[in-house]
């Protein structure tokens, strides 16, 4: 439900700025309308997520599919109504992995411009990582020590960014839940050979990432985005999705890996029967589980090799959307 524009909006505007952040990824289109205070504190007004699968087939064809574009434009038009109703003063529309990879992205730009009246920005993997770090650490820094390794596990790519008060090293890996599903996981449930091929892609990506981001320096591992939050809901035994219950959850490494293994072994129908899961995520969550499990294992092992111990991971519902909103202050 759209919340009505408050009657004291002019007074609130003197203290903060109302902004609308949109994040268009490979699998989902998300909206955050929030009031941003001068110190960067966010007061959420509206937050929405819709599975649009913009990246359908991009890994294979190099182009955005016409039906995927139309799904995305239709949801953008819905979000434009929300933005108008809430009275946001500034709007920023950010597009990530699928659009970076597409030859026909000019069609996407034109459709978004028509739907919401702003230009879509295709940001680099590095900027995506930095925005995710800014969004996530603003929520966890009061309760968990740094350095933080923020992992934003998307449909087309996965960003890793390490830092304490600001990003110090970041990398974008071309592995994500949609990309790996389309590339390798064709059976339901996937065969051992398919799983091994997907894991090999993640291992290769992590080897390259570790040359850029010193994973062994991690004190707090923070996971973001739909695959991680869905796996956390599963580990918590939720029957319906509860954002407040998921946000800030601390799971042991063994619990994370166990949840990933069980999710990967399920069929699509078994995942659909989970009451907390969006239907548009059921077919790609096995690949998301592979990515998250391999990242957690690699970080745990690199921290151990550096003389430390990584015993748990933190799930955050605060992510790139929060970072985009803060960037408009």
The pair of structure tokens assigned to 102 is: 């597409």
For the chain, percent of residues with pLDDT exceeding 70: 95
The Cα–Cα gap between 189 and 272 comes to 13
Q: Residue 181 above 70 pLDDT?
A: yes
C-alpha distances (whole Å) from 37 to each of 31, 44, 138, 307, 329 are: 19, 11, 13, 40, 8
The Cα–Cα gap between 138 and 48 comes to 20
Q: What tens digit of pLDDT does each residue of 285-315 get?
A: 999 999 999 999 999 999 999 999 999 999 9
* Residue 81: burial class (beta carbons within 10 Å; 0-12, 13-18, 19+): exposed
The pair of structure tokens assigned to 254 is: 């063994």
Query: What is the DSSP secondary structure assignment for residue 101, as one 8-state letter?
Result: T
Q: Is the peptide bond before 189 cis (omega within 30 degrees of 0)?
A: yes
Paired with 159 in beta bridges are 152, 172
From 9, 69, 53, select the one nearest 35 (Cα to Cα).
Answer: 9
Tokens 């929405």: give the residue.
48
Helical pair 320-327 and 125-140, crossing angle rounded to 10 deg: 100
What is the rounded average pLDDT of the residues 13-41? 86
Query: What is the DSSP secondary structure assignment for residue 63, as one 8-state letter?
Result: S
Query: How far is C-alpha 77 from the geometric centre of its chain's CA atoms?
Result: 22
Paired with 223 in beta bridges are 151, 315
Q: What tens digit of pLDDT does each residue of 201-253 get?
A: 999 999 999 999 999 999 999 999 889 999 999 999 999 999 899 999 999 99
3-state secondary structure of 301: helix
Q: What tens digit of pLDDT does each residue of 81-126 get?
A: 999 999 998 999 998 767 777 888 889 999 999 999 999 998 887 7
Query: What is the DSSP secondary structure assignment for residue 191, as one 8-state letter?
Result: P
Q: Residue 11 above 50 pLDDT?
A: no
Backbone φ and ψ for 35, nearest 5 degrees, come out as: -95, 125
The Cα–Cα gap between 321 and 189 comes to 32
What is the rounded average pLDDT of the residues 123-152? 85
């Amino acid at each position: 439900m759209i919340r009505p524009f408050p009657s004291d909006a002019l007074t609130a505007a003197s203290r903060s700025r109302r902004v609308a952040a949109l994040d268009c990824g490979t699998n989902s289109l998300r909206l955050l309308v929030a009031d941003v205070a001068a110190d960067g504190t966010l007061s959420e007004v509206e937050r929405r997520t819709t599975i649009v699968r913009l990246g359908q087939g991009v890994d294979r064809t190099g182009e955005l599919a016409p039906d995927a574009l139309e799904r995305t434009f239709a949801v953008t038009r819905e979000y434009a109504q929300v933005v108008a109703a809430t009275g946001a003063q500034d709007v920023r529309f950010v597009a990530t992995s699928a659009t970076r990879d597409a030859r026909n992205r000019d069609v996407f730009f034109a459709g978004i411009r028509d739907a919401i009246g702003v230009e879509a920005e295709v940001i680099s993997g590095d900027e995506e990582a930095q925005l995710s770090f800014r969004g996530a650490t603003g929520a966890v820094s009061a309760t968990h020590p740094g350095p933080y390794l923020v992992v934003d596990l998307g449909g087309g790519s996965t960003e890793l960014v390490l830092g304490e008060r600001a990003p110090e090293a970041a990398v974008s890996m071309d592995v994500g839940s949609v990309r790996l599903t389309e590339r390798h996981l064709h059976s339901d449930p996937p065969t051992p050979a398919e799983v091994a091929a997907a894991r090999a892609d993640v291992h290769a990506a992590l080897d390259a990432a570790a040359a850029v981001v010193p994973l062994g320096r991690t004190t707090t591992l923070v996971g973001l985005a739909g695959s991680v939050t869905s796996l956390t809901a599963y580990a918590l035994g939720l029957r319906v999705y509860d954002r407040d219950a998921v946000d800030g959850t601390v799971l042991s490494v063994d619990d994370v890996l166990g949840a990933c293994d069980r999710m990967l072994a399920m069929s699509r129908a078994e995942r659909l029967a989970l009451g907390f899961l969006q239907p548009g995520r059921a077919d790609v969550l096995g690949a998301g589980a592979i990515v998250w499990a391999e990242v957690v294992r690699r970080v745990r092992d690199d921290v151990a090799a550096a003389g430390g111990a990584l015993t748990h991971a933190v799930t955050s519902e605060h992510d790139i959307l929060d970072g985009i909103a803060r960037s408009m202050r």
